[in-house]
Amino acid sequence: MVKRILHKITGKFFSLWKLHILIFAATFIFFNTCSYPQIQKEIEHKLKAAYLFHFLQFAEWPDSVFENEKSPIILAVLGKDPFGKILDETVMSEKIGDHPIIIKRFQSFNQLDFCHVLYICSSEKYTFRNILKHIGESPVLTISDIDGFSEQGGNISFYLEENKVRFAINMQTLKQADLKVSSKLLRLAKIINPI
């Protein structure tokens, strides 16, 4: 039992350490490739995919959303997917505890099925409010890079600040959805609606 707890703590420590290194490296590369927009976009997508994986590591859902301890965490991507194979490669063979990660992609909201995490692509910028309204207070971690996403009811949003990828977390919507994130992650985020 102690060994398992110690492994969990050290695993999260190393994950946080890797996240800090990732932020530093990505910022350095981002600044030095600003004259190459295609490369810059690819790096941005890789960084966001890595962030998504780390969000999964530092998020906590109610036990009721999993059938058992080994049920998969379902990450849904809704809309025109900017990641392509980058996201698949990032989470390939990874687990959160004993939960494997499964990625599902949906072109439209009508196709959307059960998920634990919903990444709403920028192609849905005109419909995301309706999507969030439909999800309501279900324990679904919503993430997007749509401008103002967290301010308008989403849980986590990406934004660019001085050519750096940053993220904001809406504490009120997390609480309403019965979701929790680690304080270590909160220290790196811009906080919207603190509680």
* CATH superfamily ID and name for 2-192: Response regulator (3.40.50.2300)
Q: pTM score > 0.75 for this model? A: yes
Q: 78-101: per-residue pLDDT in tens?
A: 999 999 999 999 999 999 999 999
pLDDT tens-digit profile of 130-167? 999 999 999 999 999 999 999 999 999 999 998 889 99
* Residues 188-194, mean pLDDT to the nearest whole number: 94
3-state secondary structure of 163: coil
Q: Where are the domains of the chain?
A: 2-192
Q: What is the mean pLDDT of residues 66-79?
A: 96
